[in-house]
Amino acid sequence: MSQAIEKAREYLKPHKKLPTVWCSGCGLGIVTSAFLRTMAKLDIPKDDVAVISGIGCTGRLPTYVDFNTLHTTHGRALAFATGVKLANPALTVVTVMGDGDALAIGGNHFIHACRRNIRMCAIVVNNSIYGMTGGQYSPTTPHGKRGTTAPYGNVEHEFDVAALAAGAGATFVARTSVYHAREIETILERAIKHDGFSVVEVVANCYTSYGRLNKFASPVEMLKWMKDNSVTVQAAASLPPEELKGKFTRGVLVEKHLPEFITVYDELAARLKQGSAA
């Protein structure tokens, strides 16, 4: 076993019963492994990290990782994370959310966290369905695809997670997939180091609900779909629109530097103490 994997194992909660509660073939195991390897590479002490989640399959991730963790109410992970970061700015704060958790009931928190630009990382695991609660269609279920609440196909059009984050003002936005496990690590490292609000969308597979309802034969077939239907940002730049239809781009989509929220807040507080708000 490599030294890197041994280090990553140190970030798992001791004596926690494994395997996980996730279904066989679920992409969340890949996301968790990539996250742990990234944290091991960054070598941040466990007590200096807070991992916050909401409700849903993705919300179970903090159960297994040995950091300061919060398993919060549905859609409110970013609100709790904001409070944690304001209370202790020295912490490295990471939120993990599913697409329904982040973008349906949590949609307002998501766009205002992007706008606010507080330094923390939001991981949105996008499996295009409400997997834990019965396979209902979510804000990212593609138009025409099935869910238990859309048995004849979804008549709504889906959110583009990365475009929504960029439009709301996030200063780092990236997308990858669970097929591209090593790419998740590379992107997460940049996102966690970023001095501002970062969003990492990870396209994932829920075979039990989405895959079964939409005629994917196996989890492997869903992973193969991600391989065959994704294009790197660099390659996409030179392709005509018709060749990108039905595909998603991978890589860093936005990276810019704007004043970070806590820095600006502290500067304002210092000026007010000196008797000037100018």
* Grouped pLDDT means (10 residues each) for the chain, 278 residues: 75 84 94 95 95 95 95 96 97 97 96 98 97 94 96 96 98 98 97 98 96 95 97 94 93 97 95 80
DSSP result, the chain: --HHHHHHHTTBPTT--SS-SSPTT-THHHHHHHHHHHHHHHT--GGGEEEEE-SSSGGGGGGTB-SEEEE-STT-HHHHHHHHHHH-TTSEEEEEEEHHHHHTTTHHHHHHHHHHT-SEEEEEEE-SSBTTTT-B--TTSPTT--BTTBTT---SPPP-HHHHHHHHT-SEEEEEETTSHHHHHHHHHHHHHSSSEEEEEEE---IIIIIHHTT---HHHHHHHHHHTEEEHHHHTTS-HHHHTT-EEEEEEEE-----HHHHHHHHHHHHHTT---
For 207-230, the pLDDT digits (tens) are 999 999 999 999 999 999 999 999
Task: Tell the CATH topology of 3-273.
Answer: Rossmann fold (3.40.50)
What pLDDT is stored for residue 50 in this prediction? 98
What pLDDT is stored for residue 14 in this prediction? 82
**Could you tell me the residue ranges of all domains in the chain?**
3-273
What pLDDT is stored for residue 8 in this prediction? 84
What pLDDT is stored for residue 278 in this prediction? 61
